[in-house]
Amino acid sequence: MLILLLLSCCYCFILTAQEQYSRTQIHMGTLMTITLPSHQKAWIEKGFARIKEVDRALSSFQQYGDIYRLNHEHNVSIAPDTYEALRLSQDYYVQTQGYFDISVGAVTKKLYRFGTNQRQTTPEALQKATLNANALILTPHRAITPKNITLDLGGMGKGFAVDKVAALYRAHHITEGIIAASGDIRCLGLCSIAIEDPFGTTPLIHFRTRNPHTAISTSGNYRRYVGSTQHNHLIDPKHQRSQQQIASLTLISPYLDNSTLDAYATAASVMPIQHALQFLDRLKLAYVMITTQHNTNYQKNPRLINGKKILIIKEMTILRTFSWEDALL
């Protein structure tokens, strides 16, 4: 049986003989879909309940959220989920050489206000924003920040939520289905994914996973922006401005979880492209990178898209890649 899920970044098919049941709800500011075998559909609501717990911990929009309270009070008690997500964020900051930086909230929350009352800002205001991920003081039960620091866990929060639902299902021996939070997807069994063309309406590439519990994360500058993609939500923390070189980046791995892929996709999307390729090539993952410009200087295997953009692919034995036309046969 093929179950098609249309997500914001891709099309997702479940490869199974079992009848499936899907539900979609809005959480963490996006559409989230859980699909499970029909005889296990009662677990869908339990999955959404776990997502709500994560949202209560990590929300920077809702007044009950730990991150919201931290951004306003700067010295707060925190839930276990919040501690784990903040600790992971500190690790990702080091692993990405500072390109994953949750203190980018000074730009995303204070200046652009992505997600609520969005507005454009000026280069002068961007350069004056204060970013300092190392200013966070963290213990298992409390977080403290200076008053000029604003945190934003949007670069890994949805992946973190997907991981928590996947862990719940794994503990109860649920081995088929999909958990999808916009661009962050976990295939519990085997599935097939078609990646969206950020410049068009048809998929660019289609692949099938070979391993259960494969994680997929897509980051892109073509959906969330203010006015134009020149003011998109992917902020380079080194230069405190929106990145312009990578239109879409999809990471796929059965070895890394969604939190990690989400953070790595966020970080690599704002790196210089050669730096991003070197970073990604060291990791146990496959990727599909789509650039915004035609530049054939990349030391990889570029393929032109309509003679203008570049598609760069790193394949692994974890995937079987084939054309979209073949996939429909």
Nearest Cα neighbor of 75 from 138, 130, 157, 132 is: 138
pLDDT at position 7 is 46
Extract the tokens encoding 146. 């200076």
pLDDT tens sequence for the chain (329 residues): 444 444 446 666 676 667 899 999 999 988 999 999 999 999 999 999 999 999 999 998 888 899 999 999 999 999 999 999 999 999 999 999 999 999 887 777 655 555 566 555 566 666 666 679 999 999 999 999 999 999 999 889 999 999 999 999 999 999 999 999 988 999 999 888 888 777 777 777 778 888 889 999 998 655 544 444 554 556 777 766 666 678 889 999 999 999 999 999 999 988 888 888 899 999 999 888 888 765 544 445 555 554 445 667 776 666 665 443 333 32
pLDDT at position 202 is 74
- Spatial contact of 249 and 227, defined as CB atoms under 8 Å apart: no
- Packed helices 80-95 and 157-171: angle between N→C axes, nearest 10 degrees: 120
Extract the tokens encoding 161. 């939520």
Residue type, 299: Q
Distance, in Å, from the CA atom of 60 to the CA atom of 2, rounded to the nearest integer, reads: 37
Distance, in Å, from the CA atom of 54 to the CA atom of 32, rounded to the nearest integer, reads: 13
For residue 84, what is the enclosing H or E element?
helix 80-95
Nearest Cα neighbor of 36 from 48, 53, 52 is: 48
Residue count (the chain) = 329
pLDDT at position 325 is 36
Listed as own residue / partner, the contacts of 114-122 with beta carbons closer than 8 Å and 24 or more positions apart are: 114/154, 114/224, 114/226, 114/233, 115/29, 115/61, 116/61, 118/226, 119/226, 120/226, 120/227, 120/231, 121/231
pLDDT at position 140 is 97
Task: Reduce the DSSP state of residue 135 to 3 states and report it.
Answer: helix
- Spatial contact of 134 and 162, defined as CB atoms under 8 Å apart: no
Q: What are phi and psi of 269, to 5 degrees?
A: -65, -25
Task: Reduce the DSSP state of residue 200 to 3 states and report it.
Answer: coil
Report the predicted TM-score, pTM, of the whole model to 2 decimal places. 0.86
Task: Reduce the DSSP state of residue 246 to 3 states and report it.
Answer: strand
pLDDT at position 322 is 43
